[in-house]
Structure 1
Amino acid sequence: MKIKSIKAYHVVQPFVDGPYRMSKGRVADCFDAVIVAITSDSGVTGWGEMAPLGNFYSAAFPAGTRAGVPEIAPHLIGQDPRGLAGIGRLMDTVFKGHSYIKSALDMACWDLAARAADVPLVTMLGGRESDMAETYRVVTHGTLDQMAALAKRIIAEGCRRLQVKVGGNVHDDIERVTTVAAAVPKGTVIFCDANAGWTPYQARQFADATRGIDYTFEQPCTTLDENMSVRRMLDKPMVLDESVTSLGEMLEIHRRGAADGLTLKISRLGGVTQTRLIRDVAVDLGFMITVEDTGGAEIDTAAMAHLSLSTPAERRLHAIAFHEWVTVRTARNAPPVTGSHMGVPDGPGLGIDVDPGLLGEPFFEIG
């Protein structure tokens, strides 16, 4: 089997609930996605998707993806898409760094390989560990009343896990989390995610003032040293997200005892191949794991679901249904969501029936 053609589409995906707000005035109105279709000489097509959250969240930006895919794609023509490790090495050889650009191409090769083998992707990733993964939803920055109302609405809709955005003015954030915690039922799982927005001084202020609230601390500071300085005084679990950029970084986090859990972003790590590798090693090292991405719709959410459900249930934190965030559709089906749980679509590969008519004309095509 050889790669015969590659197409790339640009799809803007506006948010259902309006602008997505983080600390320090960071805001995005949409996911700005690149969707890739890779077709083999046997007529099988695999799909991949990558969408940065603005230019501020990860070391990635939408225009970079659109510029980078045409640079890499010609080198993949004629390669066997099932040789996934070799595909990754080839992309790293011809295009140094910029892992996020390679993510959709890598994902499409995994989808193609699983479709060709007529098995769900979850089977190739280690096997299904459970039928559904519990999901969380995000309480973004806003006024106290807005955040409390959003938290109540999420709970009323059946979700029991909240990620509350903090990382701004620390005194305001103390009020935000205190207000949200008071607005939801006892036992609601709360993560306080600063998105690396604080100094260690601010993070310690926040932790000290909120000792009476049950929550998990997520990525308070930027560097590993800064997060480690907070970790030493913390009496709550800590999860790191932005710090996990490679296998080497994950091993350093483990060596230093800097976290209890990890959030693995597919595009930040360069695709399904590296995400699976880091996930498997991290599970063996005892970390709790969340697998998600920086954004996307049905295709990317399906990849997140397959990786989540092939993670041992006792090591899985939660998942997120990104396709429910956006107003546009890219496929005729989606990962099934029942209440606060998400599964994988039926069928081989990602199980997603992409509708090219919803994607517009490709901005790049080769083959």
Structure 2
Amino acid sequence: MPRVRELEVFRLVLPHGRRSESLLVKLTDDGGMTGWGEATSPAPKTWSRLEETLAALLIGVDWEHPDAVPGDDQAVDMACWDLWTRMRGVPLAEAIGGTRTSLIATVRLTPDPSVESLVSRVNQQVCAGYGHVTLDVRPGWDVEPVRAVRAAYPALTLAVDCGNAYTDLGQLVALDSYGLEVIERPFPVADTYSHASLQDQVSASVAVEAGSTAELDDYLTLRAARVLLLRPSAFPSLSEARRAHDRAAAAGWDIQCAGGQGAGLARAATVAIASLPGCTLPCDVTQPPRQNQIVTPIVGANAGVVAVPLTQSGLGHDIDETRLRRLAKESFRV
């Protein structure tokens, strides 16, 4: 039974790519074993809540399972899962019900200055081993780039991510004629009726992103999509993300697991969730730059495939604490 004797928290501002912030939590139990967790883009009050409230609830308290730990902090929940599974000598993926040993990955490509440049980037990724590409589209950058990529690669599996940026169905229905597998996040999250209307009119599967099981239930009731874009970092706990997976899978939906900004730990948890049996679509853990990662081995795709670490317990990755402390803007220990 774990009993945490020390809590250490680090705030990182990651330097490469789009600058982002992460909070990392290190828990150490009475036997000296450690567990690590990460919250990417944490809420403004997370730091003070960890220092003032959760530390008092965690230190010296016995708990039998991560779900029994009080609070709703992502980093603490992940660290408890990492510690709990390390103590039991089992990989996190196995502990939460994962069945896959490797994952097919998609590569996400942002808009380019020109269509020709985008097609060239797609060629680079295809040559690197990717058989699935997701294009970011927006009003004004949609039909023309998709048409060009499809003309260059007739057999390539294509998806588009609309970033919740559309307000009408016209351009999205036009995109469907280019043999898309998935149209991700077409409308604002609350507009469930537009999602349902689009799904009725296109052959591609519409994918929605939900941050709670209640949000997901609204989509399921209206049959507003056929794919759940499951981002574990949007949920307060790994168990809640697993519950969303279970509901979507029971409804016959496909699931794409995505996410993993930050320093590598959140990406490792994303890989564990993506190993669940209902995660049938290629996962998206190819960003951000690998230079941001403080884990070994680094988390990412090789020739379009992501390995699920099943030979190590916990998250399956070691922490480069020297690099972590160099990157940390501030930290505290209780």
Per the TM superposition, whether the score is higher than 0.5 is yes
Amino acid across the alignment from 2:253: F
TM-score (norm. length: structure 1):
0.81
Query: In structure 1, what is the equivalent of residue 331 of structure 2?
Result: 364
Structure 1 residues 181 and 50: alpha-carbon distance in aligned structure 2, compared to 1, 3 A threshold: farther
Q: Write the deviation string for residues 129-159 of structure 1: whole angstroms up to 9, x where unpaired.
A: 2221100111102222332221111111110
Indicate which of 265, 275, 295 corresponds to 1:331: 295
Segment of structure 1 superposing worse, 356-365 or 340-349: 356-365
User: CA–CA distance in 2 between the matches of 1:44 and 1:150?
Assistant: 44
Instruction: Please tell me the root mean square deviation across aligned C-alpha atoms, in Å.
Output: 2.2
Given that residues 290 and 298 in structure 2 are in contact (C-alpha distance below 8 angstroms), is that contact kept between their aligned partners in structure 1?
no
TM-score (norm. length: structure 2):
0.89
Structure 1 residues 336 and 80: alpha-carbon distance in aligned structure 2, compared to 1, 3 A threshold: farther
User: CA–CA distance in 2 between the matches of 1:105 and 1:81?
Assistant: 13
Indicate which of 84, 94, 98 corresponds to 1:113: 84
Given that residues 70 and 364 in structure 1 are in contact (C-alpha distance below 8 angstroms), is that contact kept between their aligned partners in structure 2?
no
User: CA–CA distance in 2 between the matches of 1:209 and 1:336?
Assistant: 33
Query: In structure 1, what is the equivalent of residue 96 of structure 2?
Result: 125
Count the aligned residue pairs. 325
Q: Write the deviation string for residues 245-303 of structure 1: whole angstroms up to 9, x where unpaired.
A: 11111122111111111011112111312111211232222111122325123222211
Query: In structure 2, what is the equivalent of residue 137 of structure 1?
Result: 107
Determine helix, strand or coil for the equivalent of 1:49: strand
Query: In structure 1, what is the equivalent of residue 11 of structure 2?
Result: 10
Indicate which of 162, 173, 176 corresponds to 1:194: 162
Q: Does 1:37 align with 2:26?
A: yes
Given that residues 142 and 175 in structure 2 are in contact (C-alpha distance below 8 angstroms), is that contact kept between their aligned partners in structure 1?
no
Structure 1 residues 267 and 81: alpha-carbon distance in aligned structure 2, compared to 1, 3 A threshold: farther
Deviation at 1:322, TM superposition (A): 4.2
Determine helix, strand or coil for the equivalent of 1:179: helix
Given that residues 101 and 275 in structure 2 are in contact (C-alpha distance below 8 angstroms), is that contact kept between their aligned partners in structure 1?
yes
Alignment of 1:264-283 (within 5 A): 264-283=230-249
User: CA–CA distance in 1 between the matches of 2:138 and 2:46?
Assistant: 28
Query: In structure 1, what is the equivalent of residue 316 of structure 2?
Result: 351
Alignment of 1:197-208 (within 5 A): 197-199=165-167, 201=168, 204-208=169-173
User: CA–CA distance in 1 between the matches of 2:173 and 2:107?
Assistant: 25
> Percent of pairs identical after alignment?
22
User: CA–CA distance in 2 between the matches of 1:72 and 1:175?
Assistant: 52
Q: Does 1:179 align with 2:148?
A: yes
Indicate which of 26, 50, 54 corresponds to 1:73: 54
Determine helix, strand or coil for the equivalent of 1:297: coil
Structure 1 moving runs of 4+ over 6 Å: none
Q: Write the deviation string for residues 45-64 of structure 1: whole angstroms up to 9, x where unpaired.
A: 11111223xxxxxxx65x55
